[in-house]
Amino acid sequence: MEVILRETGRIVKMKRGVLITETKHGFVCANAGVDRSNIEEGLVCLLPEEPDESARRIRDGIREITGKETAVLITDTWGRPWRLGQVDFAIGVAGMSPFRDYRGETDKFGYTLSVTNIAVADELASAAELVKGKLSDIPVVIIRGYDYPKGEGSATDMTRPIEEDLFR
């Protein structure tokens, strides 16, 4: 509990022994992202201090070694409000926009889209989880063939500002 509270920027809700917190990064998740799975007994795993910076350093290292431009995602498994089960989310992004923004475009029936802004970084994170599997000890997945939106976005770009949040 002490570690969870140290990693917490703000407590959003507490129920049935679970704290829903806003981490220092601005992520809203259970127990500040502190995890006891896939780690030795007596230890806990914390979220990276600066996941976007970690993604940038990895991307820069890949560029230095290969000469190729890539996008890098740092991911973690989270539960979702209103849905059972967990999925992987992007908590660090480098070398791409985390969104594919369709706002202002017209669908096949002539309607102008005004809300659709797909969180492709999260979709790619979940796709990578399907490939590596939760218990496989595979730390890296390479996704080929996806025309990701180029840019210099970050996972923090995906955090809903509190003034737009209907639940906090």
The DSSP secondary structure of 55-71, one letter per residue, reads HHHHHHHHHHHH-----
pLDDT at 162: 86
Mean pLDDT of the chain: 94
Write the pLDDT tens digit of every residue in 55-68: 999 999 999 999 99
Q: Do 7 and 33 form a contact (C-beta atoms < 8 A)? A: yes
**CB within 8 Å of 156: residues ≥ 6 apart:** 25, 26, 52
pLDDT above 90 coverage of the chain, percent? 84
Write the pLDDT tens digit of every residue in 142-167: 999 999 999 999 999 999 888 988 87
- The domains of the chain are located at 1-47, 50-157
Token representation of residue 28: 């809203």
Q: What single letter denotes the amino acid at residue 91?
A: I
Q: Tell me the pTM.
A: 0.90
pLDDT at 149: 94
What's the CA angle centered on 139, arms 138 and 144, to 5 degrees? 90
pLDDT at 88: 96
Q: What is the mean pLDDT of residues 114-141?
A: 95
pLDDT at 80: 86
Write the pLDDT tens digit of every residue in 21-42: 999 999 999 999 999 888 899 9
User: According to CATH, what is the number of the domain 50-157?
Assistant: 3.30.1330.100
User: According to CATH, what is the number of the domain 1-47?
Assistant: 3.90.1660.10
